[in-house]
């Protein structure tokens, strides 16, 4: 019998990479999707006939219980969340419902349906926020700086609490920023690589950005979903920082991305004060020593390779649209082999 995995957030960036990774490992993969008036399966289109999708919602406890009861998964990966930091100031209550209480609803369903299910929670380096030390590891105190970060701290601790209270195999992956050609276009890496492609191909003239001095430890989503799976494959549950150990500023990101297309970024980029956040996380740099030692996990894609991969993918996509050939289905294998 193949192992059965259920992924919430399967239509998101990480959901698509994880689904493809688990299918490659021989898993039977199920995905939770919320009802929408039009289907939003762009990122998993190339996997569609190998997945089983079920409607449920993080806001609806009974739908989650029924889903777990029907699927009877061995592993649950809880990736669903309101994940865009600026939106969390505009919709703080909804962010709390999805990103914080949604985790309790998932854990309650595991506890009620089958406490032997292995559970992965998508925690975030955004929990570290206003850091007082560098690099950050599993012992670094949290000081979240956005309603999103605060909600993720709740999700992190409730995961630990269910592990300690009910002996559930629950792991929390504290993942630093990770990106890919499937990244949402509002996040800074993809906003930049999409703009580079559009500027190069004559469709855009300027790129407006916020804080160019913010620094992040950026890795590749395809590497990070492998770490999620490794966490659930251990003998004991634990929490792990996943990061590359290298950081770059937004300015360096912009410089790298524009130079991939032979462009001088200073001719195109302008700072828009409206994009500065009410409270900023200025610096994040992770120390993934525990993951290296216990999971034998290593990132395989460097920052420079990642940005080049994203610029090439966006150039290809925009060119295809200009040629009237439509978007290329972009999955893990497609871009990994580039
Ligand atoms: P993403 O692309 O924004 O995907 C979020 C997913 O959550 C989408 O599939 C979305 O579905 C789903 N979702 C949102 N609200 C839902 C609800 N009420 N019920 C059911 N599904 C819902 O995020 P990502 O980058 O893949 O990140 C995956 C997870 O890791 C998130 O929890 C994020 O906060 C966390 N994380 C991400 C990073 C990173 O750098 N990428 C770092 C640390 C932690 P729709 O398609 O219907 O909107
Ligand atoms: N989005 C965006 N747009 N960010 C900008 C811009 C812009 O125009 N200009 C500068 N930035 C800066 C932000 O102020 C922030 O410091 C940095 O770029 C990264 O922003 P995002 O790419 O939006 O990511 P994030 O760090 O806020 O959050 C992501 O990473 C977290 C892990 O640390 C998201 O994926 C979260 O879901 C995730 O938990």
Instruction: Give CA 252 to chain center in angstroms.
Output: 22
What confidence tens digit (pLDDT) does each residue in 197-219 have? 999 999 999 999 999 999 999 99
Tell me which ligand sits closest to the C-alpha of residue 54: 1
Q: Can you say whether the dihedral through the CA atoms of 53, 55, 60, 61 is positive or negative? A: negative
pLDDT tens profile 252-264: 999 999 999 999 9
What's the gap in Å between 82 CA and the centre of ligand 1?
6
In whole angstroms, what is the distance from residue 295 CA to residue 278 CA?
37
Confidence of residue 325 (pLDDT cuts 50, 70, 90): confident
Out of 3.30.470.20, 3.40.50.720, 3.40.640.10, 3.10.20.30, the CATH code matching 4-178+218-242 is 3.40.50.720
Q: In this structure, are residues 208 and 199 in contact, taking their beta carbons and an 8 Å threshold? A: no
Residue 142, both tokens: 């949290």
Mean pLDDT, range 86-95, rounded to an integer? 98
Please name which ligand lies nearest the alpha carbon of 9. 1
Protein residue with least CA distance to atom 29, ligand 1: 79
Confidence check: pLDDT of 337 > 50: no
Structure confidence at residue 327 as a pLDDT band (50, 70, 90): low
Q: Between the CA atoms of 28, 29, 35 and 36, what dihedral angle is there, to the nearest 10 degrees?
A: -130
126 part of the active site: yes
Residue 46 CA to residue 51 CA, distance in Å, equals: 10
Q: What is the pLDDT of residues 264-285, one digit of tens each?
A: 999 999 999 999 999 999 999 9
Question: Pocket residues for ligand 1 (CB within 6 Å)?
Answer: 8-9, 11-15, 34, 40, 57-59, 79-83, 98, 122, 124, 175, 177-178, 184
Domain span(s) for CATH 3.90.25.10 in the chain? 184-217+246-283+302-335
Ligand 2 interacting residues, C-beta cut-off 6 A: 83, 85, 124-126, 176-177, 186-188, 191, 209-211, 214, 216, 250, 275, 277, 280-281, 284
From the candidates 126, 179, 221, 332, which is the catalytic residue?
126
Catalytic residue among 77, 148, 162, 332: 148
Active site annotation includes 143: no
Position 328 scores a pLDDT of 59
**What's the average model confidence in pLDDT over 121-143?**
98
Q: How high is the pLDDT of residue 334?
A: 47
240 touches 124 (CB < 8 A): no
What pLDDT score was predicted for residue 228? Answer: 99
Residue 201: what pLDDT?
98
pLDDT averaged over the chain?
A: 96
Query: Looking at the chain, which residues constitute the CATH 3.40.50.720 domain(s)?
Result: 4-178+218-242
Half-sphere exposure of 282 (CA within 13 A, CB side): 6
336: pLDDT strictly greater than 60: no
CATH of domain 184-217+246-283+302-335: 3.90.25.10
Q: Tell me if 159 sits within 8 A of 170, measured CB to CB.
A: yes
- Each residue's pLDDT tens digit, 179-198: 999 999 999 999 999 999 99
């Amino acid at each position: 019998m193949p192992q059965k995995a259920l992924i919430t957030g399967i239509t998101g960036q990480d959901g698509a990479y994880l689904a493809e990774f688990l299918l490659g490992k021989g898993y039977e993969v199920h995905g939770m999707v919320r009802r929408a008036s039009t289907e939003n399966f762009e990122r998993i289109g190339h996997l569609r006939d190998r997945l089983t999708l079920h409607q449920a919602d993080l806001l609806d406890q009974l739908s989650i219980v029924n889903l777990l009861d029907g699927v009877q998964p061995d592993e649950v990966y809880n990736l669903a969340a309101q994940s865009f930091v600026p939106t969390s100031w505009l919709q703080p209550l909804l962010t709390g419902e999805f990103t914080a209480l949604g985790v309790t609803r998932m854990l309650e369903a595991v506890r009620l349906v089958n406490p032997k299910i292995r559970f992965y929670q998508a925690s975030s380096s955004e929990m570290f926020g206003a850091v007082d030390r560098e690099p950050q590891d599993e012992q670094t105190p949290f000081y979240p700086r956005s309603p999103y970060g605060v909600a993720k701290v709740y999700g992190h601790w409730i995961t630990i609490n269910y592990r300690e209270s009910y002996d559930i195999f629950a792991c929390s992956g504290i993942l630093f920023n990770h990106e890919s050609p499937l990244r949402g276009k509002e996040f800074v890496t993809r906003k930049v690589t999409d703009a580079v492609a559009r500027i190069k191909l004559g469709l855009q003239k300027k790129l407006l950005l916020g804080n160019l001095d913010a620094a992040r430890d950026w890795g590749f989503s395809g590497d990070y979903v492998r770490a999620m799976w490794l966490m659930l494959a251990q003998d004991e549950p634990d929490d792990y920082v996943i990061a590359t150990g290298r950081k770059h500023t937004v300015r360096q990101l912009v410089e790298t991305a524009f130079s991939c297309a032979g462009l001088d970024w200073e001719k195109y980029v302008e700072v828009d004060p409206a994009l500065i956040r009410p409270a900023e996380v200025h610096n994040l740099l992770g120390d993934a020593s525990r993951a290296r030692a216990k999971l034998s996990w290593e990132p395989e894609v460097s920052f420079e390779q990642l940005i080049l991969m994203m610029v090439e993918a966006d150039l290809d996509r925009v060119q295809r649209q200009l040629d009237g050939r439509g978007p290329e289905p972009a999955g893990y294998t497609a871009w990994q082999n580039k």
